[in-house]
Structures are given as C-alpha cells and as structure tokens.
Structure 1
Amino acid sequence: NSDLTRSRTIGELLAPISPFDKKCGRENWTVAFAPDGSYFAWSQGHRIVKLVPWSQCLNNFSLHGTKNVANLNNSRLPRQDSDGGQKNKPREHIIDCGDIVWSLAFGSSVPEKQSRCVNIEWHRFKFGQDQLLLATGLSNGRVKIWDVYTEKLLLNLMDHAEVVRDLTFAPDGSLILVSSSRDKTLRVWDLKDDGNMIKVLRGHTNWVFGCAFSPDSSVLCSVGASKAVVAAILV
C-alpha cells in the first residue's frame, strides 16, 4: 500500500518514572482515541492514565518535529468551568485509577460511524450532564468508568477475578461495554443501566486477550491464549 510506505513518525510521548510501584516503570500498556478526536489517552505503566487534547498534541509535534514531547504541562489548557466558556473544552489532565491499567476505551452514545464524518455535530452521552466516558481495565479485575471532563468516577464494575486485558464499546452508540479478562471470560455491561452486567461469555479455555464488535454490533469476536477465535451473537 502506497499510503503505508509514505507513513512517518510525527513525535513521541514519554511516560514519567512511576512514583507508585518500583516494579513498574515507563511501560505504556495501552492507548485510545476519543471517537470525536478530542482526546488521546494512554496508560503509563502504573495506575495513571494521561489524557491530552489531540489537537494540542499535534501542535506540539509540529513545533518540535519528531523530538520527544515528555510533558505538555506548560501549554495546559484552563480548567473547565461548568458555568463558563471552558465547559467541556478538552484539557490535559491525569486520572489515578488506583491500580495498574491494562486497557482503555472511550464511550459515547453517538455511533462511531457518524464521528468519522466531517462537520457533524457531536452529542455526548448525557448522564446528568454532557459527558465523554473513559473505561479503564485494571490489574485487580475491576473496570472503572470515568467522566473524562470532570475526572469523576462514575461506575466501579467488580465481577472479574483477574486482569482485564481489553475493553471495547459497541460501535452503535448503545454504551454496551465488553471486557476481556485473564479469568477466561468476557463480560457484557450496559452503562445506560447503571453498569448492569447483562451477560457472561465463557467460550474460552484460557486467558482472553481481546475482542472486537462487528460493524452492526450484533457479533462479538474474541481471541485468547487458547489459539482460537470465539464468536458470539449478542442480539
């Protein structure tokens, strides 16, 4: 593919040395983009997730070329004011998840296919106020759901017994979340119903590493250490 041959590195983001756990340093376990392109998020080898406004990140790359951009604090955007002009404006910040973060996923009630269109109005999931959600899968088996703008913990899902290796939202905007775990299961959560767990999928005989929805959100395929692809029909 000619586009791939022309690809190039535009910059790097470096995680700081972990202040929490000496066994974990600067490893970057997972990354995610918000569906509307407003945020880029990555876990930094321990319990911290860094969120950076993607346009700001690109501007820093443009200014510095391919030079490592380890800290964007000097250009941090103002904090949001629920009564002022900064409400819901992307800004750089961190979320302390309380344990090592293995997986990330952004969620919204807007179908992903719409977010790829140009000049489309973006409506975030309303949970009392306009929100963009970030799901974090942790080493202790928990899945924590955060409001990206306020950094508030909205839901703490606790049914997995092992590391949550992967998270994915249904692309239809339903806010159905699927978590994949080393406990050999996938669990299906309905975030619009207070995070109610609606299904447990047990087709794997070993660790589950990841999963993906079909474009119409009706089929879920997953992979794991059992060297097989497992498909499940969810509707």
Structure 2
Amino acid sequence: MSFSDTPVLLAELRPAREPLYDWKSSCETWSVEFSPDGSWFAWSQGHGTVKLIPWPLEVEELPPSCRPKGQYYKDSEAKRKGSLKEKILDCGQIVWSLAFGSSSAPAGWKLWPLSRQQDAKSSDTWLLLATGLNDGHIKVWEVHTGRLLFNLSGHQDVVRDMSFTKNCSLTLVTASRDKTLRIWDLKKDGKLIQVLSGHVQWVYCCSISPDCSMLCSAAGENVVLLWSMRSFLLIQKLEGHQSSVVSCDFSPDSALLVTASYDTTLILWDPYTGEKLRQILHAPLSPEVDYSSAEPQLNSLRSVCFSPEGLHLASLADDRFLRVWSIDLKEPLTAAPVTNGLCCTFSPQGGILATGNRDGHVQFWTSPRILPSLRHLCRMTLRRFLTTYQVLALPIPGKMKDFLIYRTNY
C-alpha cells in the first residue's frame, strides 16, 4: 500500500547509555509525554531514568514547514533560551508510565513554597510530572526545578499507566498490574482518595475524559470499564474486544473513546451510551509479512491516541508500522515504518507525533495538518458541554443529531 503523505522522520533521540538486554536494565521507552502547554517533553529512556527536554527542539533541525510559528514559537524560544534546561530524573526503578499535571499555586499546600525555586520570569502555572515505577511506587516531580515532591505508595505491582485531570485540580489516577486503580489528590499532599477494584486481570491503561466526568480503564479480561470521576462508581462495561485491551484515549471534546487491543482492532465508542460507533481492523501493510501464519500476535496493537483537533488517530502495532487514521474511515490515511514501537502521542499543537521503542529511542514524525471545518469546530464546541443524551433530546433533524454524536460525517 502506498500513501501520498507518508510521515517524515524529523528527529531521533537516543539514550546516553547503550542498551543492555537483561531484565535489570530495561532499556525500553514505555512512555513519552508532552506537557499540556507544549513547553516540555518527557521521555522514559530506560535504565530507571526520565529525561525532561524543553520543547520545541532546536528549530533549525526541522524542515521549514514543520517549524512552530506565531506566538507559540516566540514564547517557546524565549523559554528555551531562558530558564528551561534539560533534566535527568533518577527514579531508581524501571519507569513504565508518565503523566503531566498542571495547576496554579494552591493555598495551604505545605510543600508548595518549599519546591518553588524558579526565577522571576517564571509563569504562575505549576507543572508536575508523575512517574509510575516497577515496584508500585509513584514519584511526583516539580518539572522546572527537578525536585521530588512525593513518593506515593500503595500499589503492589507495576504502575502501568497514569492520567491527570485537565481541570488543574491535580487529581491523579494510576493503573496497576495489581488489578486496581487508585485516585490521589496532590493538592492534599498526595492523599489517597479512592481505590477502584473491578478488574480481574492486570490493568493496562487508564484515561480521564477532558471534561473530567469519566474515567476509562482496561485490562486483560477484554472488557473496558467506565467510571464516574464524581462518585467513583462504575458506570458501565464496554464489551466488544476479543483480547486484552492495552490502550485507550478520549477525544478532546470527551464525545468519543478509542480503545486498542491485542486482537488487532481499534474500536470507537460513544462513552455515554456505550454504543460501538466504528471498529477498525489493523490489516497488514507489508506484503513481505504473512500475518496468517502461526503468529497472530504479530499485528497486535500497542498504543493509540487522538490528535489535538479530534479528527485523527495514531496507532502503533507489532507489525512495525505507525498508522494515522481519520475517525471517519476504516483505512489508514498514512503510515510509516517504526521498529519495535511501544507508545505514541501527538504534540499539543498538532503536526508532530512522538513514538518510543524497545531500544529506548524516541522518534518525532510529521503528522497530517488540516484546517478543521466550521461544522467540526461547532460540533466539538457543543459536545464539550452536551452529553449524547442531551443531544438526542434537542429539537433538531435526525441527520444533525447523527453528526453531533459522530454516527455520520454529514
């Protein structure tokens, strides 16, 4: 299969240490993350360390069409030339998951004034990075200083995934191989709020909806669970995958949920009704590989994420391809070869995809840049405030309702 707009490799980062292929070194890059404001990139580069890199990278290294523009470019350049410096965080354990959280300074937090050591040019926004470790601990760092703020304990096994609420409340959800999820309040000195027990297998992934109303979690029992972020009660179970679900993500307007499974499928759900909107099969892209052979796991999915404008998905599979999809199509828009890819994420401004692999490397790729239609922008604006049930109750034509709930693209 050929594509007219194949992703271009912009840059590649490699760990300072050579990979040592034994269980103690764990050189894999299991997680990569951009900060919400796009000023930092975090990379779990193996060997129990995380590297924090000011973003964007040196723009002279990027093609002109991919260089940041406008005020974002000016602000980022000023930050990078100012107080932002690369940092290495020594976590002391294999790092499986990363998550950025941000907030303005909360009154009464006893650790807050102690950790604040920035210069006068620093913004009022606090930026934290949580790291999920092999021994079940979560270490939380203040990004600008590299100071360790918390060492949260409670999980009994690997912390496989994490997610912060996007409302600046600094509520952190962690998912573990101990089959539980835990909810922490970092504004209350890392207080454990709730333990969610509903899975019977390892919990692989978790994601909080951007409107902070829902939590999605998935594990090895083929079932996706949706929880209320207000009551922490189970809302519903989503059934449709035939194998372990290993990655999940909400769309920017919270109206869609995508899940990826070892069964080689992506499923787009309506998280309010539980309706399966679309199912996408990861068909083989390479004619040299026979996926019908004795290794069905060869095309197993590893990671999936939404683009910032909500029109595209990116996925990584064990067939060594990065794919970019339209949410309305069942065939990929474009693809690029990625060796042993484990995770992927879009930059907050769009146009760039970061992927991490088993060798500890990170690669940055171009991704489709489009101008969203006015219809889609209106749909996203409405869906940020309206649930599916509220849309269905509107006195408007059925075709408009179908468009607003992503059943059709008309």
Residue aligning to 1:38:
39
Residue aligning to 1:15:
15
Between structure 1 and structure 2, the one with the greater Rg is 2
CA offset at residue 20 of structure 1?
9.4
Residue aligning to 1:101:
95
Q: Distance in 2 between matches of 1:167 and 1:4?
A: 36
Q: Describe the shift of the 1:150–1:207 C-alpha distance in structure 2 as closer, same or farther (beyond 3 A).
A: same
Given candidates 153, 157, 160, the residue that maps to 2:152 is: 157
Higher relative CO (Cα under 8 Å, sequence separation at least 6) belongs to 2
1:65-88 Cα distance to aligned partner (Å, 9 max, x none): xxxxxxxxxxxxxxxxxxxx95xx
Match of 2:61, SS? helix
Q: Distance in 1 between matches of 2:208 and 2:26?
A: 32
1:163-201 Cα distance to aligned partner (Å, 9 max, x none): 000010011111100000000000000000101010101
Residue aligning to 2:162:
167
Give 5+ residue unaligned stretches, structure 1: 64-84, 110-122
Residue aligning to 2:259:
none
How many residue pairs were aligned? 198
Residue aligning to 2:180:
185
Whether the 8 Å contact between 2:20 and 2:27 is mirrored in structure 1 is: no
Whether the 8 Å contact between 2:106 and 2:187 is mirrored in structure 1 is: no
1:90-129 equivalences in 2 (<5 Å): 90-109=84-103, 127-128=112-113, 129=116
CA offset at residue 7 of structure 1?
3.2
**Deviates most, 177-186 or 149-158:** 149-158
Q: Distance in 1 between matches of 2:202 and 2:211?
A: 26
1:201 partner amino acid:
L
Residue aligning to 2:49:
48
Residue aligning to 1:220:
215
CA offset at residue 25 of structure 1?
5.3
1:82-139 Cα distance to aligned partner (Å, 9 max, x none): xxx95xx221110001111000011102xxxxxxxxxxxxx57782235311100000
Q: Describe the shift of the 1:132–1:124 C-alpha distance in structure 2 as closer, same or farther (beyond 3 A).
A: farther
CA offset at residue 15 of structure 1?
1.6
Whether the 8 Å contact between 2:182 and 2:192 is mirrored in structure 1 is: yes
Q: Distance in 2 between matches of 1:49 and 1:190?
A: 23
Match of 2:47, SS? coil
TM-score (norm: length of structure 2): 0.45
Residue aligning to 2:309:
none
Where in structure 1 do 4 or more consecutive aligned residues deviate above 4 Å? 18-22, 123-126
1:104 partner amino acid:
L
Q: CA RMSD in A?
A: 2.8
1:37-73 Cα distance to aligned partner (Å, 9 max, x none): 1110111122110011112x2426328xxxxxxxxxx
1:131-146 equivalences in 2 (<5 Å): 131-146=126-141
Q: Distance in 2 between matches of 1:214 and 1:4?
A: 33
Whether the 8 Å contact between 2:93 and 2:134 is mirrored in structure 1 is: yes
Q: Distance in 1 between matches of 2:204 and 2:226?
A: 14
1:1-48 Cα distance to aligned partner (Å, 9 max, x none): xx9935322111112336999532542111011111111011112211
1:99 partner amino acid:
Q
Q: Describe the shift of the 1:199–1:60 C-alpha distance in structure 2 as closer, same or farther (beyond 3 A).
A: farther
Q: Does 1:206 align with 2:201?
A: yes
Whether the 8 Å contact between 2:131 and 2:139 is mirrored in structure 1 is: yes
Q: Distance in 1 between matches of 2:105 and 2:130?
A: 15
Q: Distance in 1 between matches of 2:105 and 2:131?
A: 19
CA offset at residue 206 of structure 1?
0.5
Match of 1:173, SS? coil
Q: Describe the shift of the 1:43–1:232 C-alpha distance in structure 2 as closer, same or farther (beyond 3 A).
A: same
Q: Distance in 2 between matches of 1:58 and 1:177?
A: 32
Q: Distance in 2 between matches of 1:4 and 1:14?
A: 29
Residue aligning to 1:61:
61
Give 5+ residue unaligned stretches, structure 2: 64-80, 117-123, 231-410
1:33 partner amino acid:
F
TM-score (norm: length of structure 1): 0.76
